[in-house]
Amino acid sequence: MQGHEAPERSVTRLTDPKALRAYAHPVRMRLIALLRTRGPLTATQAARLTGESSGTCSFHLRQLAKYGLVEEADGGTGRERPWRATTLYTSIEDDVSDPAAAAAGALVRSVITDRYFERVSRWLERRGAVSEAWREASVFGDRFLYLTADELARLGSSIEALIDAYAEREARPEARPADARLISMMLFAFPEEEAP
């Protein structure tokens, strides 16, 4: 959640409209996600995981490096050089008073939202193939609440505090229980349009 940061979390804050637009590319977002969840990868390994060519992955990794989102890891050369994410999270901090920054921030959020819904659709397609325990543990639904802006902010902070209890497992694989799986948790909370 934007604005909340646990001590275990490392965050890249994107404010520059050029950096925001560079990050908004779907392939780049997939690469960042892979590097954050699987650790260092070469362009060749990333290509196998994304379905893109190694040249495409190499190009996008270099673009991400320009904005401090990835860096070269030790070992290898050329396309066999491993890359790693510089932080676990990216915070989009556009300046709404700057039209270029606001537009770039809106673009990033739009691409992120599209990716979220693609992932939800993939989960729904494969839901029947996972164990009953995982099907029952998954969360799917929505709620309507009547809150003030302060209450919504407190609710978001409370949810983040619950999630932060597991944050150590992101950076330290050895802290993960043997049966732990990577979970995708998406959270949206926003004011509805006023009724006409």
**Would the pLDDT of 2 be above 70?**
no
pLDDT tens digits, 149-183: 999 999 999 999 999 899 888 878 899 999 999 99
**Would the pLDDT of 115 be above 50?**
yes
Residue 188 binned pLDDT confidence (cut-offs 50, 70, 90) = confident
Q: Which domains does the chain show, CATH number per domain?
A: 11-137 (1.10.10.10)
Whether the Cβ atoms of residue 40 and residue 81 lie closer than 8 Å to each other: no
For the segment 50-54, the average pLDDT, to the nearest whole number, is: 95
Q: How far apart are CA 6 and CA 158, in angstroms?
A: 12
